[in-house]
Amino acid sequence: MDNVFYRNIKKEYTEVDRGEGIYLYDTDGNRYIDACSGAAVSNLGHAHPKVLKAMADQAEKVAFSHLSRWTSAPIKELANLVAGLTPGSLNKLYLVSGGSEATEAALKMARQYFLERDGKSGKYKVISRWKSYHGNTIGALSMTGDKRRKKYAPLLLDFPHIAPAYCYRCPFGRNPDTCGVDCAYDLERALKMEGSDTVAAFIAEPVGGAACGAIVPHKDYFRIVRQICDHYDILVIDDEVMTGFGRTGAMFAMEDWDVVPDLICAAKGMSAGYSPLGGVIAKDEIYNAFKQGSGAFVHGHTYGGNPLSAAVAVAVVRTLVEQNLAANSRNVGEYLLTQLRERLLPFWFVGDVRGKGLMQGVELVKSKATKEPFPVYLGIAEKITVTLMKHGIIVYPGSGNADGENGDQFLLAPPLIITKDQADELIEAMVSGFADFE
Ligand code: PLP
């Protein structure tokens, strides 16, 4: 018995003792493959010596200074590093402490941009998609499209949600041969209904994560979205909180579709779990509108951009680049996906195995033929997670939404340092866990 107010008060939690590389150890000495990097966070694995050293060095100098008064060498270095990795004129980094703070800040930044640029005060709504996750705070949850909204619905902003780019369960009843990328054009429908003069931005995860288990859109999806947004004067907010910094095999997932967004939200992989950090990366045009306008973004969080987290992020990002871990994510990810499809799809309850780089999802169904999901009350995703843990693997579960519409799935997102041999170890453990579950 302890006094921690846990997320799930009825659940028993295993106590973590230590981590090393892709492995976590509990206090009884059991070893687990951290096959989801927490929640796609620990991209460099655990106890990385370069990051630990950078952390200790910075803590000795100064751990905290407030952004209202101070700048610091680590935040300047981080902003320069990030600007060198982003496409187009995405050069300006606004620092916060996590992913929800990043999407929340992007929402306000998009709204203020139109005020600063030409006083368009009517443009404030952000359109997002169902089966999306953009965070837990009220603005972020308003943009989110999944079951996490349900209990807090009366508190949320009334923002429109469009159809997801969910090919396994196409909302338009299409298949790969008949696909017309209707899910992208659904944005135009929503813009016409809402009136584009009321809309500031469209936000999307390039590869859907926490709400849907690694759904990858059609290759033309974001190109069409970009065209529609340009036509109606809407910003594209690219929520790369989970996908950013190498997770899907590119530094930022959107690169693979040759689309340049207006704002990028980042967090998780930027400091890889060693210290909380998040950020919004803005195009020069947006930054300049603020600079030439009021000169201030009236928004801030106490821990945003603290020197300790920034020094950690500098070490993390440098290591990512030096070790070419995005390429490792692409290569080992392709291998893992091929193997998982071959080995898991034969199980009667596995409907789909999908993903990009080292961000992969497994969707569990009651019937392969009809794709009927398991009833929500069974909590299948959580149950399989518990079985896999007994086989030494940690995955990130996502279960059906309250209407039973979503389906059970879980996410695999091992640290980007994983080797092919370790991927084999993961596959064998997964297969024996699935056989046990059957
Ligand atoms: N956006 C996306 C795409 C995410 O995956 C998450 C977290 O899973 C968030 C935002 C929220 O980030 P945080 O949990 O750091 O607040």
Distance, first Cα to last Cα, the chain: 33
Q: List Cα–Cα distances, 289 to 52, 114, 376, in angstroms.
A: 39, 9, 47
- Say yes or no: CB of residue 128 within 6 Å of ligand 1: no
Mutate to test the pocket of ligand 1, among 268, 271, 359 (most ligand atoms within 8 A of CB): 268
Domain 52-322 class, CATH top level: alpha beta
CB environment 33-65: b (16+ within 10 A), e (fewer) = bbbbbbbbbbbbbbebeebeebbeebeeeeeee
The pLDDT value given to residue 400: 55
DSSP state of 262: S
Q: Which of 149, 242, 245, 254 to mutate to test the pocket of ligand 1 (most atoms within 8 A of CB)?
A: 242
Residue 156 burial by Cβ neighbours in a 10 Å radius (0-12, 13-18, 19+)? middle
Q: Closest Cα to residue 200, out of 234, 226, 230, 228?
A: 234
Q: How many whole angstroms from 265 Cα to the centroid of ligand 1?
A: 9
Residue 39 is which amino acid? A
pLDDT of residue 399: 65
Instruction: Write down the pLDDT at residue 342.
Output: 98
Which ligand 1 atom is nearest residue 140's CA?
10
CB 237 within 8 A of CB 265: yes
The pair of structure tokens assigned to 191 is: 């813009």
Ligand 1 center to residue 359 CA distance, Å? 14
According to the model, what pLDDT value does residue 401 have? Answer: 47
| Token pair in block for residue 307 | 């020197």
Task: Tokens 């693997």: give the residue.
Answer: 393
ipTM of the complex: 0.99
Per-residue DSSP letter, 377: G
104 lines ligand 1 (CB under 6 A): no
Within the chain, all domains assigned CATH 3.90.1150.10 are found at 16-47+324-437
DSSP assignment of 174-242 equals --TTT---HHHHHHHHHHHHH-GGGEEEEEE-SSB-TTTSSB---TTHHHHHHHHHHHHT-EEEEE-TT
Ligand 1 touching residue 396 (CB < 6 A): no
Q: What is the pLDDT of residue 406?
A: 62
Q: Which two tokens stand for residue 245?
A: 């910094």
Whole-prediction pTM value?
0.97
Closest atom of ligand 1 to CA, residue 132 = 3
DSSP, res 69: T
Could you give the residue range(s) of every CATH 3.40.640.10 domain in the chain?
52-322
Second CATH level (architecture) for the domain 16-47+324-437: Alpha-Beta Complex (3.90)
Measured distance CA(274)–CA(25) in Å, rounded = 17
Ligand 1 midpoint to CA 240 (Å): 9
Sheet architecture: strand order including 161-162? 90-96, 278-283, 263-266, 235-239, 199-204, 125-129, 161-162
Q: Per-10-residue mean pLDDT for the chain, 438 residues long?
A: 87 94 98 98 98 98 96 98 97 98 98 95 96 96 92 96 96 95 98 97 97 96 98 98 98 97 98 98 98 95 96 98 98 98 97 98 95 87 93 87 65 98 98 92
Could you tell me the distance, in angstroms and rounded to a whole number, from the CA of residue 197 to the centre of ligand 1?
28
